Amino acid sequence: MFHPVTLPLWLFVLILVFAGVTFASHFLFPSVRWFFRRRVERVVERLNARLDRPIEPFKLMARPDMIVRLTHDPKVAEAIVAEAEATGTPETVQLERARRYAREIVPAFSATVYFGFATRAAKWLARLVYRVRIGQFDTGALAAIDRRATVVFVMNHRSNMDYVLVTYLAADRSALSYAVGEWARVWPLSWLIRASGAYFIRRKSGNPLYRRVLARYVQMAAAEGVTQAIFPEGGLSLDGRVGRPKLGILSYIADGWRTGGRDVVFVPVSLAYDRVIEDRVLTAAHATGVRRFRASFGSILMFVGRQVGRLLTGRFEKFGVASVSFGTPLSLADFMAGPHDDATAELAGELMRRIARNVTVLPVPLLCAAIGEATDLPLAEVRARAADLAHRLDRAGVHLDLPDASPDAAVDRALDILSLRKIVRREGDRVLVPPKDRALIGFYAAPVRQHLCAPAASNEPEFAEFSPNLRS
C-alpha cells in the first residue's frame, strides 16, 4: 500500500492538470466569481444612487440564466410545438433552434463596460464631431414619469451617430438597451455592443419561432422595467424625412402589456444634424430604390483617415450642430384606455408625429431649403428665402437653432460647412450647386419641407405612403 509507484511523466502531468482543474472549479473559481460579483454589486449600488432610473435586476441577470429563462418560456414553448408541427421536424430540433435564437438576441450587460467605457467614449466622440445641443426638453413632463414605469425612448433614425448621441445624453438617467441590426454582428464590435446592453435583431426575418423568441425577450425586458431605445423606422432615413413606422418592437411591447401591470412610458426623441456622416451613401441608396449601402471598407478607412489626419494637424472642423429634442411622454396605459381600431398602428403614428413635430431646424437644413431646386442663385435671394422660411417655421411653432437667432448668420454658417465639402460653391455674390450634389441639397432640406407640409390646424407632419397596417 505504501510502495512507490512509477508513472510516465506525461501521465503524472495529466494527473496534475486534472487535479488543478478540479481544485479551481470547486474552490478557486467560485471564490473569484464571488469576489468579482461583489465588486459589480458595489459598482451598481453607486450607479443606482446617482441615476434617475436605477438599473433593474433583470438587466443584471447572468446571460446563461436569461437564455434558459427565455428558451423555456411557455409562449416560446408553444411556438416550438407549432413550428415542429408546421415543418415536420422534431421538437428537440426546434428547441435547439430557439436556444440558438436566444443566444443571438440576449445581451451580456456589464455596468463597468457601459458606464466605464461606452458612455465616456460616446461623450468624447459626440463632442469631438459635433456641437451638441439640447433642443426642446419638456422638463416637467419627464420629471413626472412614474419611477416604476418602463421608459422607452422612441427616435427617428438619421445616422449611426444616433446611438452615440443618445447614450451620451441619457448617461445620467439610465442604461439604455438598444435593438441593433445585423450590421453590428462583427467581432469585436459585437462583444462591445452586447456588453453595453444592446440586443441583436434580424430585421427581415419572417421565421415565426424567431419572432416569438424576440417578442418574448422584448416583453420580459419591458415587464421588468428595463429602459429601452428603439427606432420605429427600422433603418436610416434615406430621404432626410421622419419616415413611416414599422410596428415590430412597438407591437411586441403593446401586445405584452396588461391592464394593471407596470406602465410603459414612451419618450419621443427627435434628432437633427447639420451633417449626417453617411449622407452620400444614403442618398445613393435612395436614388437606386434599394436599401443597400455600398460604402466599401476601404472608403470608410479613407474617410476616417482623413478626419484623423485633420485632427492631428489641427485642421479638423466640427460637422456643425447635432440637436436632440425630448418630447412630451406618452403613457401606454393612458393610450390604451381609449377606443382604437388598431391600437399599435395608432400608437406608432402618434409617436412618429410627435417626433417629426419636434425636429429642430439647423443652419444647413434651412439653407438647403432656401436653395430648393435651384443650382445658381444670388446670395441676396438665398438670404431672403432663408429669412422667409425661418419666419414661417417660427409661426408654425417649429424650434430653430440658428447662430444668434439670425437667418443671415445661419446662411453664413451653413455655407461654410457645405463649401468645405464642395456641395455648394460661393462665387462672388452667387451660390452655385454642382449637379452631382443636388440630391444632398434635397436630403438636408427634407425636414424643413416636412414641417411646412404639416396641416396648419394640427401642426402634424404628413408621412408619405404611411400605412397603418404596415408591420414588420
**Residue 469: inside a domain:** no
CATH number at residue 331: 3.40.1130
Answer whether 276's CB lies under 8 Å from 282's CB. Answer: yes
Residue 25 has phi, psi (to 5 degrees) of: -70, -30
What does pLDDT average to over the chain? Answer: 83
**Are 285 and 409 part of one and the same domain?**
no
In tens, the pLDDT along 9-42 reads 776 777 777 777 666 555 554 554 444 455 555 6
**Are 336 and 300 part of one and the same domain?**
no
In tens, the pLDDT along 414-430 reads 999 999 899 999 888 99
**Residue 19: inside a domain:** no
Between helix 379-395 and helix 363-371 the angle, nearest 10°, is 120
**Are 210 and 334 part of one and the same domain?**
yes
Write out the DSSP string of 173-220: T---EEEE-GGG-STTHHHHHHHTT-EE--TT---HHHHHHHHHHHHH
Q: Among 166-175, 187-196, 321-330, whose mean pLDDT is lowest?
A: 187-196
What's the domain range around 431?
363-452
**Are 63 and 195 part of one and the same domain?**
yes
Answer whether 235's CB lies under 8 Å from 291's CB. Answer: yes
Residue 182: the pLDDT is 65
**Are 348 and 204 part of one and the same domain?**
yes
User: Nearest CA to 133 among 369, 407, 394, 400?
Assistant: 400
Nearest-angstrom CA–CA distance, 188 and 16: 35
In tens, the pLDDT along 447-462 reads 999 999 865 434 445 5
113-120 — which CB contacts under 8 Å span 24+ positions?
113/192, 113/195, 113/196, 114/175, 114/195, 114/196, 114/197, 115/43, 115/47, 115/171, 115/175, 118/167, 118/192, 118/196, 119/167, 119/168, 119/171
**Residue 43: inside a domain:** no
**Residue 433: inside a domain:** yes
Nearest-angstrom CA–CA distance, 330 and 234: 20
Query: What is the CB-side half-sphere exposure of residue 257 using CA atoms within 13 A?
Result: 24
Higher pLDDT: 224 or 45? It is 224
The residue out of 300, 333, 358 marking a domain boundary is 358
Helix (H, G, I), strand (E, B) or coil at 442: helix
**Residue 20: inside a domain:** no
User: Nearest CA to 109 among 234, 230, 34, 221?
Assistant: 221
The residue out of 318, 343, 371 marking a domain boundary is 318
Between helix 208-223 and helix 74-87 the angle, nearest 10°, is 180
**Residue 378: inside a domain:** yes
**Are 199 and 345 part of one and the same domain?**
yes
Answer whether 226's CB lies under 8 Å from 60's CB. Answer: no
Answer whether 411's CB lies under 8 Å from 352's CB. Answer: no
pTM of the model: 0.83
CATH number at residue 376: 1.10.10
Nearest-angstrom CA–CA distance, 105 and 212: 12
Answer whether 217's CB lies under 8 Å from 70's CB. Answer: yes
pLDDT tier, 467 (very low <50, low <70, confident <90, very high otherwise) = very low
Residue 23: the pLDDT is 62
**Are 235 and 95 part of one and the same domain?**
yes
Nearest-angstrom CA–CA distance, 345 and 351: 10
Residue 97: the pLDDT is 93
**Are 152 and 66 part of one and the same domain?**
yes
**Are 414 and 289 part of one and the same domain?**
no
Q: Which three cell numbers stand for residue 380?
A: 441676396
**Are 331 and 295 part of one and the same domain?**
no
The residue out of 358, 378, 408 marking a domain boundary is 358
Sign of the C-alpha dihedral computed for residues 396, 401, 405 and 408 taken in this order: negative
**Residue 209: inside a domain:** yes
**Are 219 and 170 part of one and the same domain?**
yes
The mean per-residue pLDDT over the stretch 107-125 comes to 86
**Are 58 and 147 part of one and the same domain?**
yes
Q: Cβ atoms within 10 A of the Cβ of 132, count? A: 17
In tens, the pLDDT along 260-275 reads 888 999 999 999 999 9
Q: Which three cell numbers stand for residue 314?
A: 489641427
User: How many distinct structural domains can be found in the chain?
Assistant: 3
**Residue 4: inside a domain:** no
